[in-house]
Structure 1
Amino acid sequence: MSMTNRLKVDRRDGKLVMAHFYVAFISLAIGGLAGLLQVLVRSGMFVLPAGIGYYQLLTLHGVVLALVLTTYFIMGFQIAAVSRTSGTLTSKQRKIGWTGFVIMTIGTILAAVMILLNEATVLYTFYAPLQAHSIFYIGLTLVIVGSWLGSAVILLKYRQWRKENHKQTSPLITFMAVVNSIMWIVATIGVAATVLLQLLPWSLGLVETINVGVSRTLFWYFGHPLVYFWLLPAYMAWYVIIPKIIGAKIFSDSLARFSFILFLLFSIPVGFHHQLMEPGIDASWKFIQVVLTFLVIIPSLMTAFSLFATFESYGRSKGAKGLFGWFKKLPWKDARFVVPFIGMVAFIPGGAGGIINASNQMNQVVHNTIWVTGHFHLTVATAVLLTFFGISYWLIPHLTGRTLTKAMNNLAITQGILWAVGMTFMSGAMHAAGLLGAPRRSSFSEYGGASIAAEWIPYQVAQAVGGSILFLSIILMLYIIINLAFFAPKGEQDFPIGEIAETAEKTPKILENWKIWIGITVLLILFAYTIPFIDMFHHAPPGSKGYKLW
């Protein structure tokens, strides 16, 4: 029991996980407040006090929520999942995890301080020629290095399990955490390279110019797999945990593993679809990466098929009749299922919007409009975040030795519904305003005197309404988290891990042959980026080895 599939996460591992969760939900509070202020400013009904800049607020919102909250929650959740299914961490592994946490936190504090001092108002993407204080870039580097150590914990535990359970198939959720960790490590090499080799020396005055095309390409080499780094932990819950919660079996272990392998292969060499409107990249290479981007649709559809096959099989086992009779049999009074399910539904229009964003001609319609912001809020801020909330409802009391009470369960359902309503207003208005040409990342005040702004005003107000409802939902969420961590009744809350259906096919061993999958990943990356990078260096302005920035 000490090494495999423990019923309860070890208390020492739980402390490490909860440390990550505390930072994640503090980030939710800070980032949520920044988001509320943003939509109020864009509505034209509010002016920021104390000389706070709109873009300063926008940077804080993006960095704290999209980078800090997600990274800390994912690291904590994956460590908990591996500890639960592959055995308690060794003291060495736990020490590495705590070291990573401390390094990440120091980096987060450094970056946050620079943003609050208005020394790093460079937005979530921190594109050059926007320049931040060198301490901001040092902070980002520390966050990345700390996350590598957190990922190392997962990989070390997986390797240990494989050695001690020779020729056996690894626990499914551990396998998924390994895939996500490998993808994260490979992807963050890009952002680490641009920060350490370009942005940091430039901010320190060691170089006068940098190659902006290379910098943006390295960012999006990282930026798109970042989306899947957010998404795959939600898929872990959908594939492995939700079936157990509803009382069903996992439809197919092989399909789940193969879908994750496909995400690993096709999530990294696709960054150019974020750069379709940028010069300096040959159109043929953009086309190739758009094709690779569309291949990611396949594992998404596989996931949808697997999930709804699980739901239908469960409903039929409970006597459901007709085409959709199984739908009524699902546990609609259980927040652990209902809130993530809302996220699943939101991912349908979110995924459709992603196809539009990655399509060359349609991207030209919505590029750099607030449509893109609305898309992010459907995917990461709804599908992913609501699933994270659903995980928190049972994982936090599991780790703290408490229980999810009926009152907290009902409040959690209310919280999820409020989120859905608020996001419908806000994201829907963003999509509509984007189609009218409303720009991304801009405050209302900049366009207040322009006649075109009149078309956007109703949508800006709708965003403010939706943002206010979302902030109320955040307050409820924070209340629930505090209750589950400190005040809920003492007891035993289960960590649900689904079992594979008896009718499922045996899992092929090749799915855990990492030499093959990592090798193919590297080859795809080299194929997609080698010649474009050579072109960027070859066509840099003579004598500068980069573009003049100012």
Structure 2
Amino acid sequence: MNTPGAMKKLDRRDAKLVMAHMYVVFTCLLVGGLAGLLQVLVRSGKVTLPAGIGYYQILTVHGVILALVVTTFFIMGFMQATVSFTAGAYSNAQRRLGWIGFWLMLIGTAMAAAMILTNKASVLYTFYAPLQAHALYYLGLTLVIVGSWMGGAAIIIGYRRWKKANPGKPSPLLTFMSVVNSVMWYVCTLGVAVEVLLQLLPWSLGMVDGINILASRTLFWYFGHPLVYFWLLPAYMAWYVVIPKVIGAKIFSDSLARMSFILFILFSIPVGFHHQLLEPGIDPAWKFLQVVLTFLVVIPSFMTAFALFATFEKHGRQIGAKSLFGWLKKLPWGDARFTVPFIGMLAFIPAGAGGIVNASHQMNQVVHNTIWVTGHFHLTVGTAVLLTFFGVSFWLVPHLTGRVLTKKMNKLALVQGILWAVGMTFMSGAMHAAGLLGAPRRSAFSEYGGAAQAAEWIPYQIAQAVGGSILFISIIVMVCIFINLAFFAPKGEQEFLVGEVDADAEPTPLVYENWKLWLGITALLILFAYTIPFIDIIQNAPAPSKGFKLW
């Protein structure tokens, strides 16, 4: 219990739950980072994997561990921490749900990892049919999703309890944001749950001879694009609410933050066809519709950029900045809790521009299935999201462990962020450039077609290897920082960073928490975007898939 005047702390039982997630995050970060390093070294043509280890084996390890496991464990831990802190400590029932979810995710991760390491599931993180993995791989991924549902349920219970105790008031901003991300996760994972349970598992168990491939890919991308926003929204939570506290500013607008999050629910799910623009079997008119819906996601992203830089400028001018960009000098560049996430914010600018290319009808044809897409992916989740997560960990982990971020660790954290920026500039920049020349994604060097064309790409593959090596060094530094903050940093009190809304901001309308309205609109958009195309996919499937079934 906190004594009067003492710094507010997360309930120690909830802190243990969150730290359990963090231990998994940074262990898997090291494993996934090593797989990524081996991958770029093999692609450079300078390294051959020992002991019969396959290229697609380490590619799958890298993608599944970093894109699915690290992100999901961090996000669930971070959101549960924010809800416990801002909406009240977990009840025993919430905590039980949180722990059940954690163990289900961990068991599922172990099952999937075992299948990948024994080369029975080298199907990449997208597990695209007609590639087939062992049934235990699909079952493991199912447990990861079900476990995340349990953690989301604990979050929603905390939100409902707070609303019941505070009728007529807007919920704490971080709690609201966590609920939005959990709701979006529930809706989008229904697609991959149907794919795995009704198609991939029966198929891998030999219960059916084949499955409707286009249906499986459509179900995956119904989930796959909102997955990007499941990663991104916790970073937005930090940008909107945590970063203002770090720099000593106020949150520019509570209402604008809530509106942008609601728009992500509406516009992030019915857009999966823009990942399937070159796949036959989907009417071009429906593809075009979903491209238009995809571009609408730009609106909340621009809203976020405006709110962030308005916060920076307003605060800078309040503390003495005079010139047009004088406020930039007033930002705390020596504080890793700000600078490392800020690098992620900057990376999101070219990442967003690349996303517009990927989602465009004509431009997508230039870069589709090239390593350009991989470069884009590493700027979004690999830089904007991960660097923000690292910045959060610099204060969250010591808060959870009762320690402090020392000046020495802060300097090391700055080095880590700079290394990441340099490494990603080399690697992602080379991926984008090679992609424009036609270099394929998901391919080992030895499998490139045409010796002359492959030779043209060699300098870019070497640049990727250089960048990947620097990134792995950055990962090692990050893991060392985590170990220090978890076990060796001096005992003390590290504040749980939650910003306050500016006194000049407009009051927050309660309509943002009208879940019947927003979920109803979301359901209508999904039905409008998918019902007719999906019926076409099933009815027009080649034998033996013809008829209203998924196999």
Q: What is the TM-score normalised by the length of structure 2?
A: 0.98
* Equivalent residue, structure 2, for 1:500: 501
Alignment pair present for 1:374 and 2:375 = yes
* Equivalent residue, structure 2, for 1:338: 339
Kindly provide the amino acid, as one letter, of the partner of residue 117 in structure 1.
Answer: T
Cα distance in 1, alignment partners of residues 505 and 545 from structure 2: 60
**Structure 2 SS opposite 1:500:** coil
Give the drift of 1:8. 1.2
Task: Give a deviation string over 1:324-346, Cα, whole Å, max 9, x none.
Answer: 00000000100000000000000
Q: 1:72 to 1:546 in 2, by over 3 A?
A: farther
* Equivalent residue, structure 2, for 1:464: 465
Give the drift of 1:138. 0.6
Kindly provide the amino acid, as one letter, of the partner of residue 134 in structure 1.
Answer: A
Count of matched residue pairs: 548
Alignment pair present for 1:240 and 2:241 = yes
Alignment pair present for 1:95 and 2:96 = yes
Contact kept in structure 2, 1:209 and 1:546, CA below 8 Å: no
Task: Give a deviation string over 1:248-282, Cα, whole Å, max 9, x none.
Answer: 00000000000000001000000000000000100
* Equivalent residue, structure 1, for 2:309: 308
Task: Give a deviation string over 1:11-52, Cα, whole Å, max 9, x none.
Answer: 000000000111111110000000000010011111000100
Cα distance in 2, alignment partners of residues 319 and 288 from structure 1: 48
Cα distance in 2, alignment partners of residues 140 and 6 from structure 1: 40
Kindly provide the amino acid, as one letter, of the partner of residue 48 in structure 1.
Answer: L
1:208-219 matched pairs, under 5 angstroms: 208-219=209-220
1:40-439 matched pairs, under 5 angstroms: 40-439=41-440
Kindly provide the amino acid, as one letter, of the partner of residue 209 in structure 1.
Answer: G
Cα distance in 2, alignment partners of residues 448 and 253 from structure 1: 53
Give the drift of 1:6. 8.5
Q: 1:313 to 1:401 in 2, by over 3 A?
A: same
Cα distance in 1, alignment partners of residues 124 and 547 from structure 2: 22
Kindly provide the amino acid, as one letter, of the partner of residue 37 in structure 1.
Answer: L
Cα distance in 2, alignment partners of residues 457 and 215 from structure 1: 35
Contact kept in structure 1, 2:538 and 2:545, CA below 8 Å: no
Cα distance in 1, alignment partners of residues 225 and 449 from structure 2: 34
Give the drift of 1:546. 7.8
Cα distance in 2, alignment partners of residues 132 and 251 from structure 1: 48
Task: Give a deviation string over 1:430-455, Cα, whole Å, max 9, x none.
Answer: 00000000000111122386110111
Task: Give a deviation string over 1:514-546, Cα, whole Å, max 9, x none.
Answer: 000011011100010000011011101245338
Cα distance in 2, alignment partners of residues 448 and 226 from structure 1: 32
Contact kept in structure 2, 1:6 and 1:87, CA below 8 Å: no
Kindly provide the amino acid, as one letter, of the partner of residue 519 in structure 1.
Answer: G
Cα distance in 1, alignment partners of residues 155 and 62 from structure 2: 29
Kindly provide the amino acid, as one letter, of the partner of residue 264 in structure 2.
Answer: F
Give the drift of 1:311. 0.1
Contact kept in structure 2, 1:315 and 1:326, CA below 8 Å: yes
Q: 1:219 to 1:448 in 2, by over 3 A?
A: closer
Q: 1:546 to 1:69 in 2, by over 3 A?
A: farther
Cα distance in 1, alignment partners of residues 388 and 43 from structure 2: 28
Task: Give a deviation string over 1:268-303, Cα, whole Å, max 9, x none.
Answer: 000000000000100000001000000000000000
* Equivalent residue, structure 2, for 1:32: 33
* Equivalent residue, structure 2, for 1:475: 476
**Structure 1 SS opposite 2:528:** helix
Cα distance in 2, alignment partners of residues 469 and 361 from structure 1: 35
* Equivalent residue, structure 1, for 2:486: 485
Cα distance in 1, alignment partners of residues 307 and 181 from structure 2: 19
Cα distance in 1, alignment partners of residues 545 and 134 from structure 2: 23
Kindly provide the amino acid, as one letter, of the partner of residue 36 in structure 2.
Answer: G
Contact kept in structure 2, 1:6 and 1:84, CA below 8 Å: no
Contact kept in structure 1, 2:210 and 2:544, CA below 8 Å: no
1:501-540 matched pairs, under 5 angstroms: 501-540=502-541
Contact kept in structure 2, 1:82 and 1:154, CA below 8 Å: yes
Cα distance in 1, alignment partners of residues 238 and 546 from structure 2: 46
After superposition, the CA RMSD in angstroms is 1.6
Cα distance in 2, alignment partners of residues 388 and 144 from structure 1: 21
Kindly provide the amino acid, as one letter, of the partner of residue 13 in structure 1.
Answer: D
Cα distance in 2, alignment partners of residues 478 and 336 from structure 1: 16
Task: Give a deviation string over 1:124-156, Cα, whole Å, max 9, x none.
Answer: 111111000011111011111001001001000
Instruction: Give the % identical residues.
Output: 75
Cα distance in 2, alignment partners of residues 448 and 195 from structure 1: 33
> Where does structure 2 lack aligned partners over 5 or more consecutive residues?
none
**Structure 2 SS opposite 1:495:** coil
Cα distance in 1, alignment partners of residues 473 and 88 from structure 2: 39
**Structure 2 SS opposite 1:451:** helix
Cα distance in 1, alignment partners of residues 378 and 475 from structure 2: 14
Contact kept in structure 2, 1:85 and 1:171, CA below 8 Å: yes
Cα distance in 2, alignment partners of residues 421 and 541 from structure 1: 49
Q: 1:200 to 1:397 in 2, by over 3 A?
A: same
Q: 1:447 to 1:92 in 2, by over 3 A?
A: same
Contact kept in structure 1, 2:7 and 2:493, CA below 8 Å: no
Which segments of structure 1 move beyond 4 Å, counting only runs of 4 or more? none
Cα distance in 1, alignment partners of residues 221 and 523 from structure 2: 17
Contact kept in structure 2, 1:111 and 1:135, CA below 8 Å: yes
Task: Give a deviation string over 1:480-536, Cα, whole Å, max 9, x none.
Answer: 000000000000000111100011001111011100001101110001000001101
> Where does structure 1 lack aligned partners over 5 or more consecutive residues?
none
Contact kept in structure 2, 1:211 and 1:546, CA below 8 Å: no
**Structure 1 SS opposite 2:451:** coil
Contact kept in structure 2, 1:269 and 1:289, CA below 8 Å: yes
Q: What is the TM-score normalised by the length of structure 1?
A: 0.98
Task: Give a deviation string over 1:71-115, Cα, whole Å, max 9, x none.
Answer: 000000000001110010001100010001111111110000000
Cα distance in 2, alignment partners of residues 95 and 339 from structure 1: 34
Give the drift of 1:388. 0.1
Task: Give a deviation string over 1:347-401, Cα, whole Å, max 9, x none.
Answer: 0000000000000000000000000000000000000000000000000000000
Cα distance in 2, alignment partners of residues 288 and 342 from structure 1: 34
Contact kept in structure 2, 1:210 and 1:545, CA below 8 Å: no
Q: 1:381 to 1:543 in 2, by over 3 A?
A: closer
Give the drift of 1:209. 1.2
